[in-house]
Amino acid sequence: MRRRDFLADMAVSGLAVSASPLPAAAAESRPNFLIIMSDQHSPHVLGCYGDPIVQTPNLDGLARRGVVFEHAYDQAPVCVPAKTSFLTGQHPFQTRTWSNADMLASDTSTFAHSLGGAGYETTLVGHMHFLGPDQNHGFQNWLVGIPGSQWPGGALIIPPFMRPGAQCDSKAGITLAGPGSTAYNVFSDAVADGTAGFLRQRAQESGGKPFCVLAGMLLPHPPFICSQGDWNYYRDKVTLPSVPPGYFEKLHPAIQAWRKNRGIEDLSPDEIRAARAAYYGMVAQLDRAVGRMLDALRETGLDRNTVVIYSTDHGEMAGENGMWWKFNFYEGSVSVPLIISWPDHFSAGRRIREIVSHIDLRPTIEELSGGGNTGVSTGKSLLPLLEGKPVAWTNEAFSEYPMNTHGEPSMRMLRQDRWKLVHFDGMRPQLFDLEADPHEFHDLGDDPGHAEIREALHAKVLEGWSSDLYHAELARRLPHRRVLQRWAATVKPPSLRAWPVPPDANVFPGRK
C-alpha cells in the first residue's frame, strides 16, 4: 500500500497530509520521535518503578534499554492542563488552562510547531484532549480520531453501564469495577495499531522528512474495567493499601473534606480490591499495546534512530493514602513515569534521581531535533542528564490545581529536594519529608520543629502565582462558556474527527 493510501484510510477527513521530502542525509542525521502518552498511569503500578505484581514487560524492557527518571512530575493533576503543559512546556497559569473545560489558545505554540518548523513531519494518533475548533495545535496529520466531542459541553465516551450522572472519576467508577470491556480499552488498542501501521508504512519510504508521531492513549483511565483474563490474574494478587493507626483522624482538613465530598470514606475492602485489580489489568493491557508499537519500531529498523518517550498526563491514587483518581498532590497522583530511550546515544538502564517535570520535555525535544531551543518553555532541557554530563540542576517541580469544584481550597505544590509542600488557600500547608516518609503518612505542616523549612517553601510556592488569576479568568469565561455549551447542544456541530465507537466496545457483565 502506498503511503498516501494508508494515510487516506487512517486519517480523519479534512486534514491535509504533508509529504514534501527532505534530502535523505538531512532526514537521517536527526532522530525520529515516538512519543507515547497514556492517561492516568501511576508510576507505582509499573514494574520498572518497583511494583512486584503488575506485568509490564514492554515498558520494563524500554526502561532497560533507556533512561528512567525516578522523580518526574506533571504540572497539574488533571487531564487538559497536564497535557497542555506537556505540549507547550509552560505551566497552566501561563497557558490559562486549568480544567478540562478550557481550550488551549491557537496562538500558543507546542513542540509540534517547533518540530514542524524544523522540518519534521508531525502526526498525532488518537487523543490529546483538545477542545474547540483547533484540533491540530501544530500536528500536520491526525490518525484514528478523537474519543468524544470536540465542542464545549461534550465529553469523552462514557460507557452506557455507568449510572446516570456518574462520571468515570467518581465513586461509581470504583463500585462498578470488574471484568469486561469499555470504549476506553478498545480506543487504546486502535491507537496502538494505528501507530504501528504508521511506523511500518513510514519504514517503506526513503528520503523523507524525519518524523514525530505521538500516540495518545486513554488507558488506564477509569472506569475500572479490564479483560476477563486480566481480572482473573489480578483479582487475588493485588494488595490492599494500608495506613498507620490514626492516620485518617490526623489528615489535613482539606483532604478530609476531599474524601467526604467524593463519598469514598466508606468503601469496602472488596470494592477497593476490585477497583485495584481492574486498574492493574488496564495497565497490563496498556503495556501490551505499547509492546505492539515498540515491536513495529524494532521490526522496521526504525528503532536505531528513534527517540522513544513514554509518560502519562498524571497518576492514579488507586486507594493509596485513602485517595482515588487524581486532583491532589500525593505522589500517586502528581508524579508520573518518564522513560526516554535512544539506542547508542543514551546509556541503557540509567536511572536519574534529579527532580524533573513535563515542562522539561519541550526544550529536550527541540534540542534533540537540531532546530534549537525556541526559549518558549519554562522548563530545562533534559539532554545533559540523558547524556550523563555534569550539570547544575535545580531540584524542584511545581504543580497547581486552583479549581474548587467540590468546595476544597485552591492548591499548589512545590517539590524541592527531599521536601514537598502543598499550599491551600486560607489553610495551613501540608509538608512531607519524602526521604524519611516516602508514603506521605506524616504531615509536618503544623510541626514547630519544621517551621523554618516550611516557611521558606511556602513563600517560594507562591512566588509569581496566585489563585486569584484563575478565579478572575473563570469569572470572565463562565458567561461565554455557557453560551458556547448551549450553542453546541442546540446546533450539534459535528466532531469531524470523532472516532467511530464499535458496537461491541462496551461489554460489562459485572463481577460474579
Rounded to a whole number of angstroms, the distance between the first and last alpha carbons of the chain is: 46
The three state secondary structure string of 297-338 is: HHHCCHHHHEEEEEEECCCCCCCHHHCCCCCCCCHHHHEEEE
Residue 304 has pLDDT above 50, yes or no: yes
Q: Is the predicted pLDDT of residue 22 greater than 70, yes or no?
A: no
Q: What is the mean pLDDT of the chain?
A: 92
Q: Helices then strands (H, E): number in the chain?
A: 16, 14
C-alpha cell at 448: 514547630
Residue 28: pLDDT band by 50, 70, 90 thresholds? low
18, pLDDT greater than 60: no
All cell numbers assigned to 316 = 492514579
pLDDT in tens, 49-94: 999 999 999 999 999 999 999 999 999 999 999 999 999 999 999 9
What average pLDDT does range 477-482 have in this prediction? 95
SS3 11: strand
Could you give the domains of the chain?
Answer: 3-11+30-394+468-491 (3.40.720.10)
CB 118 within 8 A of CB 370: yes
CA angle at 249 for the pair 244 and 251, rounded to the nearest 5°: 85
Question: Can the peptide bond before residue 31 be classed as cis, meaning omega within 30 degrees of 0?
Answer: no
Cα–Cα distances (Å) from 262 to 166, 167, 323, 400, in that order, read 12, 11, 10, 20
Cβ neighbours of residue 421 closer than 8 Å, sequence gap 6 or more: 413, 414, 429, 430, 431, 454, 457, 458, 461
Q: For 341-375, how does the pLDDT look when each residue is reduced to its tens digit (9 = 90+)?
A: 999 999 999 999 999 999 999 999 999 999 888 89
H helix runs in 242-399, sequence order: 253-261, 269-299, 331-334, 361-369, 383-386
Q: What is the pTM of this model?
A: 0.93
Residues 339 and 11: their CA atoms lie apart, in Å, by: 28
Most confident of 18-22, 172-176, 184-188, 503-507: 184-188
Q: Give me the pLDDT at residue 512, please.
A: 66
Q: What is the pLDDT of residue 1?
A: 36
Section 426-445 average pLDDT:
98
